[in-house]
């Protein structure tokens, strides 16, 4: 049962709650008929309460009668920590120190590894999300009890629950397998060029050939790492998920444990649980983890469970990527800004003019604001009193590339290399007198 506006009950029970790998992404959705008398009451940011779980949700979108709401965690967004540095601590210790008054942590992850988180500016929820990414754990949220529960899915024991066509599968599961990030060898670099070669037999890479004996290389750089052991440990975990296909099964189930708990309680399904999938079509019997749970509180026969062989689901990873790109407090955005500052500093001298860039002919060229650059086919081009744009974007071969461009859109200097990791960077520099010298 859903309620809003001081306990008004929504006369509609065909809604579902979708539990995600990272609990902050949980959502509640339903579709009201056009003639439903309470449809006009639905509006963006309207709080809804699921009376079964007592969890609060906030409506984020309304498309005709289709309503979507997300778990209300605004209390974890009410403070900004500027120049945040956690010090070297466990995830439970880090999170317990940044939660608002009245909130607490239940540490079911039991991670004793220590890491240091550094963020120029972040809310408590941003810091929790960063902990999830850094420590390879996840979190569930209870906004009624004000609790953050840390979980380590790899440590969740199998409970004996299983899915089979003869019992609780309504149809064959939809199987997806992807190797979009497949690699068997990973080179890793931390801050200031840190590698783990000193503790890894002189090798600055690691291999994982459990699935394939091919050598497929990947590169990972994260300047948050200042300790070789931590870099090696997390590189191994990262490669373990890259070195085999990511497989998932979307299962339409009859949730028997919800329908008859006394008889089928041993088949209870919950997030991160290990569930055995008996797949007659593929003649397989394998355990996978519940990575998403779409549950209808009043219609458990419509529930959908997604099982995955690797942490999270494809959609949740897309959501994480989207959050990283759109959230200005994310570690990605802040590392992105650091790279922008770095490349700007490298390309700019103390007077604020462009400095050295490697041109398409391979030579280093000094570029200042007012340019006289001579394309071979046109002699030279005057750009007096015009601003110059510097673009860094992905070339067709996926290598960083750049070019200078005048306001009229004419390319006046191409570059094969820019010495920084960041791509998709655009800045506008006002012109200053001078020339471009080879």
Same domain, 294 and 364: no
Residue 107 domain boundaries: 76-153
DSSP 238-252: HHHHHSS-EEEEEEE
CA distance 153 to 145: 22
Q: Which two tokens stand for residue 322?
A: 């989207």
List, in sequence order, every beta strand (DSSP E) within 296-355: 304-308
Q: What is the torsional sign of CA 334, 345, 351, 389?
A: negative
Domain membership flag for residue 58: yes
Residue 333: Cβ within 10 Å count: 18
Query: What pLDDT is stored for residue 335 in this prediction?
Result: 53
**Residue 91: exposure state from Cβ atoms within 10 A (0-12, 13-18, ≥19):** buried
Same domain, 80 and 67: no
Same domain, 228 and 254: no
Q: First CA to last CA across the chain, in angstroms?
A: 72
Same domain, 53 and 195: no
The C-alpha angle with vertex 367 and arms to 364 and 370, in degrees rounded to 5, equals 160
The strands making up 217-221's β-sheet, listed across from edge to edge, are 205-207, 185-189, 217-221
Q: Which two tokens stand for residue 283?
A: 């003649």
**Residue 190: exposure state from Cβ atoms within 10 A (0-12, 13-18, ≥19):** buried
Of 112, 133, 29, nearest in space to 71 by CA = 29
Same domain, 274 and 203: no
Of 154, 290, 181, nearest in space to 246 by CA = 181
Same domain, 166 and 254: yes
Query: What pLDDT is stored for residue 174 in this prediction?
Result: 85
CA distance 199 to 291: 35
Same domain, 7 and 118: no
Q: Which two tokens stand for residue 1?
A: 């049962």
User: By three-state DSSP, how is residue 108 classified?
Assistant: coil
Domain membership flag for residue 329: no
Q: What is the torsional sign of CA 425, 431, 432, 435?
A: positive
The domain that holds 148 is classified in CATH as 3.55.50
Domain membership flag for residue 318: no
Same domain, 293 and 418: no
Same domain, 135 and 203: no
Same domain, 169 and 285: yes
The strand pairing partners of 57, in sequence order, are 48, 71
**Cα torsion at 178, 184, 189, 190 (round to 10°)?**
60
Domain membership flag for residue 325: no
CA distance 84 to 70: 27
Same domain, 191 and 250: no
pLDDT in tens, the chain (438 residues): 999 988 899 999 999 999 999 999 999 999 999 999 999 999 999 999 999 999 999 999 999 899 999 999 999 999 999 999 999 999 999 999 999 999 999 999 999 999 899 999 999 999 999 999 889 899 999 999 999 999 998 888 777 889 998 888 988 888 888 887 889 999 999 988 999 999 999 999 999 999 899 999 999 988 888 889 989 998 998 898 888 888 888 899 988 998 899 999 989 889 998 889 887 777 778 888 899 999 999 999 899 999 987 655 434 444 444 454 445 555 555 554 554 444 444 444 343 333 334 444 444 444 443 333 333 333 333 333 333 333 333 333 433 334 444 444 444 444 333 333 222 222 333 333 333 333
Same domain, 160 and 299: yes
Residue 141: Cβ within 10 Å count: 23
Query: What pLDDT is stored for residue 333 in this prediction?
Result: 52
List, in sequence order, every beta strand (DSSP E) within 222-272: 246-252
List, in sequence order, every beta strand (DSSP E) within 335-424: 356-359, 364-366, 372-373, 381-382, 388-394, 400-405, 411-417
Domain membership flag for residue 253: yes
Say what the pTM is.
Answer: 0.67
The C-alpha angle with vertex 277 and arms to 24 and 71, in degrees rounded to 5, equals 10
Which phi and psi angles does 262 have, rounded to 5°? -70, -40
Query: What pLDDT is stored for residue 371 in this prediction?
Result: 34
């Amino acid at each position: 049962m859903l309620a809003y506006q001081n306990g008004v009950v929504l006369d509609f029970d065909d809604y579902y709650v979708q539990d995600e790998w990272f609990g902050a992404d949980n959502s509640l959705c339903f579709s009201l008929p056009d003639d439903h008398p309470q449809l006009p009451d639905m509006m963006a940011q309207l709080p809804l309460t699921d009376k079964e779980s007592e969890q609060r949700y906030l409506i984020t979108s309304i498309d005709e009668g289709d309503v979507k709401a997300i778990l209300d965690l605004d209390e974890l967004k009410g403070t900004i920590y500027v120049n945040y540095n956690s010090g070297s601590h466990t995830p439970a210790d880090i999170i317990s120190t940044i939660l608002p008054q009245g909130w607490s942590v239940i540490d079911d992850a039991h991670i004793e590894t220590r890491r240091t988180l550094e963020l120029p500016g972040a809310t408590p929820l941003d810091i929790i999300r960063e902990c999830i990414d850094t420590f390879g754990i996840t979190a569930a949220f209870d906004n009624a009890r004000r609790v953050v529960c840390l979980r380590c899915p790899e440590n969740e024991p199998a409970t004996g629950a299983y899915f089979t066509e003869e019992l609780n599968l309504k149809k064959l599961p939809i199987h997806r397998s992807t190797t979009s990030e497949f690699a068997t060898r990973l080179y890793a670099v931390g801050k200031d060029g840190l590698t783990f070669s000193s503790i890894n037999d002189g090798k600055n890479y690691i291999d994982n050939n459990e699935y394939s004996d091919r050598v497929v290389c990947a590169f990972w750089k994260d300047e948050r790492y200042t300790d070789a052991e931590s870099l090696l440990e997390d590189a191994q975990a990262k490669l373990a998920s890259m070195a085999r296909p990511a497989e998932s099964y979307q299962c339409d189930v009859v949730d028997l444990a919800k329908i008859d708990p006394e008889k089928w309680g041993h088949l209870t399904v919950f997030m991160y649980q290990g569930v055995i999938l008996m797949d007659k079509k593929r003649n397989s019997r394998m355990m996978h983890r519940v990575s998403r749970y779409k549950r209808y509180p009043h219609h458990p026969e419509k529930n959908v469970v997604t099982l995955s062989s690797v942490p999270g689901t494809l959609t949740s990873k897309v959501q994480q990527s989207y959050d990283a790109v759109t959230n200005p407090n994310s570690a990605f955005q802040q590392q992105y800004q650091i790279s922008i500052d770095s490349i700007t500093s490298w390309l700019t001298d103390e007077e604020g003019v462009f400095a050295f860039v490697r041109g398409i002919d391979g030579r280093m060229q000094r570029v200042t604001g007012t340019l006289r650059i001579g394309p071979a086919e046109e002699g030279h081009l005057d750009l007096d009193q015009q601003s110059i744009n510097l673009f860094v974007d992905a070339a067709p071969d996926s290598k960083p590339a750049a070019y200078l461009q005048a306001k009229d859109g004419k390319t006046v200097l191409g570059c094969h290399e820019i010495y920084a990791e960041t791509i998709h960077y655009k800045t506008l520099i006002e012109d200053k007198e001078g020339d471009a010298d080879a």
